[in-house]
Amino acid sequence: MKVAITGSSGLIGSSLVGALRGAGHTAIPLVRHDHPGAGEVAWDPAAGTIDAAALEGVDAVVNLAGAGIGDARWTDERKREILDSRVQGTTLLAEALAGLDRKPRVLLSASGIDYYGDTGDAVITEESPPGSGFLTDVCLQWEGAAAPAQEAGIRTVLLRTGIVQTPDGGALAKTLTPFKLGIGGRFGSGDQWWSWISIDDHVRAMLHLIESDVSGPANLTAPNPVTNLQYTKALGRELGRPTLLPIPMAGPRLLLGRELADTLLLASHRVVPSALEASGFEFRHPTIEQCLAAVLGDEAA
């Protein structure tokens, strides 16, 4: 199987590339430089250019490209970069795929559970409506940009991803140091729901969706979301550290800005993977305890 991947050097993309190649498939990275290497395809979303001919005959495409949500403070310029890096790239890719003579069977296009907004204690499935706020708007436009591929008859799956758990990057990597020092704790009340997924299950889910008949939105979250307080206690137990004191929000707000800090840490998402489970996918790490034990390994020693 030949699979083309945007965002192949990112946290999720690099894991997907490794899994594909380990299983004997061909992973074809889309890269942003003028002289792609063997097995790579050139594209430049900002310039609106892509080597579409090099995508003829691929079996699947996975679109993961986009500027990091929590990598920098949300200035107006940064917000525009977050939006444009997703919408421009997805539009360019989807239109290129729609114009191919030998189209891929499936496009997996990234999105996020922020599509649903802050939903409190409500249990959220793929049938739930969109919420409101900056990231909801990003997700709506991001998903809409994949429409040309879907309209051209390519089965299109919208990956509404939760908090990916891996010590190699993302939220868990940023959390580990204070927790290892014994100063980790809940954020705010700790009542907000966090919907998470292990990096292993995320990659396995993408491989499953490539082979399945699922189309439309698919929540890439584990079946057992937890509150921030429950997550905090589970991480403390895994690391053998106390988690008695709440983390004052003043620190994250100072570092990240209030809007970004509150969106990342205080918003509540109780999301379940209805489409994945209905398609027969079985999670390797369905509980947060199983997940943390698996992904942390020697980190907990």
Report the alpha-carbon distance of residue 55 to residue 42 in Å, rounded: 10
Question: Which pLDDT belongs to residue 34?
Answer: 75
Task: Describe the crossing of helices 288-296 and 199-211 by its angle, rounded to 10 degrees.
Answer: 110
Report the alpha-carbon distance of residue 186 to residue 42 in Å, rounded: 44
Question: Which pLDDT belongs to residue 24?
Answer: 97
Two structure tokens written together for 246:
């709440």
User: Which parts of 130-268 fold into alpha helices (H)?
Assistant: 134-144, 147-151, 170-180, 199-211, 228-239, 250-256, 258-265
CATH number at residue 10: 3.40.50.720
User: Residue for token digits 């891929």?
Assistant: 104
- The ranges of the chain with pLDDT < 70 are 298-301
CA trace torsion 60, 65, 69, 71 (10° rounding):
130
Q: Name the nearest CA neighbour of 273 among 186, 173, 206.
A: 206
Residue range(s) defining the domain that contains residue 199: 2-300
pLDDT digits (tens, 9 = 90+) for 213-249: 999 999 999 999 999 999 999 999 999 999 988 999 9
Max CA-CA distance within the chain?
Answer: 60
In contact, 184 and 219? CB cutoff 8 Å: no
CB neighbours of residue 71 within 10 Å: 11
- In sequence order, the β-bridge partners of residue 112 are 161
In contact, 247 and 172? CB cutoff 8 Å: no
The number of distinct structural domains making up the chain is 1
Question: Which pLDDT belongs to residue 300?
Answer: 54
Question: Which pLDDT belongs to residue 33?
Answer: 80
Strands 193-194 and 270-271: unpaired
User: Which parts of 23-133 fold into alpha helices (H)?
Assistant: 76-98
pLDDT digits (tens, 9 = 90+) for 157-204: 999 999 999 999 999 999 999 999 999 999 999 999 999 999 999 999
Counts for the chain of helices (H) and strands (E), in that order: 11, 14
